[in-house]
Every structure is written in C-alpha cells, then in structure tokens.
Amino acid sequence: MKNIIIAIDGPAASGKSSTAKRVAQQLGYVHVDTGAMYRAVALKAMQLGVESGDRDAIERMAKTTTVRLEYDDAQKVHVMLDGADVTDAIRMPEVSKAASDISAVPAVRDLLVREQRAMGAQGGIVLDGRDIGTVVFPNAELKIFMIADAYERAVRRAMELEEKGIYADVLALEREIMERDRNDSTRAHSPLKKADDAYVIDTTRLTIEEQTAFILSRAKELLA
Ligand code: CDP
C-alpha cells in the first residue's frame, strides 16, 4: 500500500485536529498536530517572559528549543518541550494568542517546519495546521482546507475546553478566534491560505463522522 501525505489546513478551531486524528487512526497513519508545536514554543516564551515582538530574543530561544511529538502505547500523543511533557499546559486559552504571535517569527517556523518535514519524509502521515499544503508539503497527495462559521467554531472550542475543566465565554472565544485568523492570514511568512489544489470542506453543518468520511473516501481513491 502506498503511503501518502494528507495535509489539512484551515482557520482556528475549524475541527482540523480532531478530524485529522480520526483519519490517521482509520488509515493506520501518524497524526501530527502542528499547532501543538507552535503552542509549545509559545508556552516556553511565556514561561521565560520573552515578548513575541522581541525577535532577537525569540530567535535565540528557538535555537535552543526542541519540540517533539511522542506517541505512547495507547497511541496518545505527548507534546514534549525540551524533554518536558506540556500536552495539557498548551491548551490554556492564553497560549492560543501567544502561539499566533510567535508563529509569525521566521526562526520559529524554520525550526518547526524542519521537524515536520522529517516526520513526514516517509509518508503515511496526516498533518494539520495553517501552511501544510502550501509550504510544509506542497506536494502532498491530498489537501483539505477546513472552514466553519466563527460562532460555531467558538461553541465547539468552548465545549472542548469544558471537557478539560476550563470555562470560557463563547462570545469572547469567537472574538479571539476571529482575531487570530486575521493575524494568521495577514502575516508575511507562511500565512494561513488555501492551497490551489485543496478541497474545501465547510464543517458548519457537518458532523465529525461526515467530514472524516469525506477525507477517507478521497484518500482511498488515491490509494486504490
Ligand atoms: O486548534 P486551534 O485551531 O485553535 O489552533 P492550533 O492549530 O493549535 O494553532 C495555534 C496557532 O499556531 C495558530 O493560530 C497559528 O498562528 C499557529 N500555527 C501556524 O502558524 N502554523 C501551523 N502549521 C499551525 C499553527
């Protein structure tokens, strides 16, 4: 069986990671949540008190930072920052905005893109993020761009956070999501953008099973 690369991009909280995880499980592929990697670098900057506007300090920090995704026996992913498990800490809402700011710094992107390309070199992988189909793997065999209404995305994110015991206001989340999309789409380096050859899926009225099934059927056509 061929091992393809599946790239899933799209704006904040559009359901990329949960869908990518299911697609990977069904195909026996590895899932790489690239947003988690940017979140980990942002967490480090927050812990060290390094401002995202201080490009020199961020570049210096990036040079001595390692971010790895490790998979345990139950296939649960652990986000490792300089060897420490930060899987839960990176989901705090304040890390989202910090990740969006720090991801505009080229030195940070270079560090993480290198790691992502190494993970995907053999194929058999589903990556989700903002620049996977445009920059990280422009030759990915299957590209998806996932969108959804901003309010619906905020409701879903609030529910996800609630499951983790974090309570957030839906309207505040909607504002944060829209601001982050603006930030991500307008940055100079690797902005959030649909690849010309990506399928667009609007998930506003789809269930996770429906969006997963769509991607799986496209993948199976390519693997046939
Ligand atoms: O899960 P959610 O959509 O809220 O965000 P995420 O995928 O965890 O990504 C957090 C932030 O990291 C985004 O707002 C982007 O600024 C940045 N990011 C990026 O620049 N490139 C990627 N490939 C993935 C995330």
Determine the pLDDT at residue 1.
Answer: 62
220 part of a folded domain: no
* Structural domain containing residue 87: 5-214
Q: pTM for this one?
A: 0.96
Determine the pLDDT at residue 75.
Answer: 82
Q: Strand (E) positions, the chain?
A: 5-9, 30-33, 67-71, 77-81, 84-85, 125-129, 142-147, 199-202
195 part of a folded domain: yes
CATH number of the domain that residue 160 is part of: 3.40.50.300
pLDDT digits (tens, 9 = 90+) for 131-190: 999 999 999 999 999 999 999 999 999 999 999 999 999 999 999 999 999 999 999 999
What is the Å distance from ligand 1's center to 130 Cα? 6
Domain tally, the chain: 1
Choose among 146, 149, 159, 130: nearest CA to 211: 146
Q: Strand (E) positions, 152-213?
A: 199-202
Which residues line the pocket of ligand 1, CB cutoff 6 A? 12-13, 17, 34-36, 38-39, 96, 99-100, 103, 129-131, 180, 184
224 part of a folded domain: no
